[in-house]
Structure 1
């Protein structure tokens, strides 16, 4: 039976040479012959999407970056971004229709130095925010710092669990003290980065502990877990089912996921297929978990690794690729009954990978600036007011 099947497949391919000309001339397939090379439709916006943008905390501006921000190259020693720079960023993001910045929040109990940097950055934002921009936290789950693994799960390392709960207690100060902290359907929003590494034999019990702990402080939580890029939705079912309210993938179009050329040639379609299947699986097979698409404006891994052979997702097309990814995000955001209509952009200012939305300006480094064009694309693609 197996040989008959292979024979029929071979016969079918030979009989369809008119559809697959590369079988005759042996030149190999092209992107246009790929089954995924379908057209991404333009999705008309009839209701605003809630747009969040990752705001990165870096110490010094990478000297290999050829672009120059409108505000000029800036550094963040110990998280201290110049207040004037933060004020400009808030105003620029408002032009794009970005609803909130998403700040990393590292462990105050196990990574205190970086926690202080994160706190300084968040305080600068709060101090410069005129009340027009919201913000949320992304707790950076560092399994190594917590001392947990598959062989040392949280329930067997009570010190680690207590440390993590203490981290959330410190985070609750941000929830409580600022009216501009994001809520989803009346619940306090908290992202958990690398949530696939929440090592436990009973993740439901761990998340119940987190919710109970924060509930005692007066907060009903909307928890969003991160899954690593390009991974199938069922891989971490025990980490997420019955645990989180929503899931997002680490950026598929950014440096973490764009490492294979076959994906690069049909990137919008490959992301669409990955998200469509994942979104349906999270919703239908994991108890109604929502999905939040995560897109990036561009990506250039050679800035940090000059000899990198990973594909470059450039800005030479005037934003055409990014517009397609915006439409892929709209196609896969949860907009139906019970949906949250949210999308993420990675990032606002990750200049070391050219993944930033932040505007650049004319300079002497030999690159054509994109200016505020990506801000305009975000507003055009996700807001009803252009």
Structure 2
């Protein structure tokens, strides 16, 4: 009895496996037939390269408005890197003691000449980076020396400027597990950094040529995605309140790291800032993004702009004319965008920016003079005024 039951069980298991095998082969056969049918079908809805969302050309079109252009100004230290191929039209210069000085020293006022060049491009303002005056004073002092060199130039009145606050998590003592509210002394220092920009009689915000957007005082927060707080909207509300008491209504721009969706740190931007931008997209570090780079950026920015509009936040495109990581890292295998096309890449990048600018028409150019990454548009002895001219032609009506 048991023997027959055992055999019956074995027989049932064997039949079950046979049916499963048959069903599996039948399914595979059906799928093969479907694949063959669609493969042999002419016309219809079969996929093609034309369906790829990145399969289009970036058109170069004349501007239909005057865009507001801000270029990031770089203090690149006390020396001019020997790997840099381009020589500034005014000669090599650096920042010993934070002052822009030609190498060798000459009678040329670097900042004066840079302002004259910026006027050729019809730039509206330079963006200067400043660190915490209360938590990183030595570096803040160097930053302020560079800003004051601009303000002391005889033609400074012809050019506006804005500040980008360099948010440093180490100085603030914050991390993903330490919120700034748990460090009340550091939080107070953070608030006072912004108050300092507008409190003193000679403060930067009170300068006649300090940049405003829609009548509001522009301030940029670098690495804003790292401001870990239990309640970011409350922190930003307090910044605005304190500056309002000094007579300033702020237009705050928050930076988020490159190649990241806006929702990644939404809780650090929503109900906090007036505008956002993505940092230095041209440093892709990824060959998947390098190929069809402009289309990748265009599609990404379309999404960014749409999402930010739903948050009542403006999007600011940030572009670069070129990028060469080999200057500071000769062994790098990351992709680069070299200056070998007479400026065509930059022209197209300008048009990607125009396609995705928000109502205020703000565009960032990264950079004015970062020779260490070859992202500068400043005039050089090699390409002359090429990138100044392209900037003017692509973003200004006349």
TM-score (norm 1): 0.87
Change (3 A) 1:312 1:212: same
Counterpart in the other structure of 1:78: 97
Aligned length: 357
Counterpart in the other structure of 2:234: 205
Counterpart in the other structure of 1:378: 391
1:124-273 map, 5 Å: 124-128=149-153, 129-172=155-198, 173=200, 174-253=203-282, 255=283, 258-273=284-299
Counterpart in the other structure of 1:293: 317
1:67 to 2:86 alignment: yes
Change (3 A) 1:216 1:40: same
Which structure 2 residue ranges, 5 or more long, are not aligned?
Answer: 1-26, 102-107
1:89 to 2:114 alignment: yes
CA distance in 2, matches of 1:112, 1:307: 35
Deviates more, 1:244-253 or 1:168-177: 168-177
Counterpart in the other structure of 1:57: 75
Residue 300 of structure 1, CA deviation: 0.4
Residue 7 of structure 1, CA deviation: 4.8
SS of 2:152's partner is: helix
RMSD of aligned alpha carbons: 2.5
Counterpart in the other structure of 1:44: 62
Query: Of the candidates 344, 348, 355, which is equivalent to residue 368 of structure 2?
Result: 348
CA distance in 2, matches of 1:341, 1:16: 50
CA distance in 2, matches of 1:238, 1:13: 50
CA distance in 1, matches of 2:340, 2:215: 41
Residue 199 of structure 1, CA deviation: 0.5
Conserved 8 A contact 1:154-1:199: yes
SS of 1:322's partner is: helix
Residue 35 of structure 1, CA deviation: 4.2
Change (3 A) 1:342 1:36: same
Residue 42 of structure 1, CA deviation: 2.5
Conserved 8 A contact 2:172-2:180: no
CA distance in 2, matches of 1:316, 1:90: 27
SS of 2:208's partner is: coil
SS of 1:353's partner is: coil
| CA-to-aligned-CA distance 1:144-187 (integer Å, 9 cap, x gap) | 11101222111111111101011112222544431000001111
Residue 63 of structure 1, CA deviation: 1.6
CA distance in 1, matches of 2:366, 2:291: 21
Residue 349 of structure 1, CA deviation: 0.4
CA distance in 1, matches of 2:37, 2:220: 48
Residue 11 of structure 1, CA deviation: 2.7
| CA-to-aligned-CA distance 1:68-120 (integer Å, 9 cap, x gap) | 11011111012111371111100001000110000001111111111111100
Conserved 8 A contact 2:205-2:217: no
1:85-124 map, 5 Å: 85-124=110-149
Change (3 A) 1:40 1:162: same
Conserved 8 A contact 1:148-1:160: no
Counterpart in the other structure of 2:4: none
TM-score (norm 2): 0.85
CA distance in 1, matches of 2:204, 2:341: 41
Which structure 1 residue ranges, 5 or more long, are not aligned?
Answer: 24-28, 362-368
Change (3 A) 1:7 1:333: farther
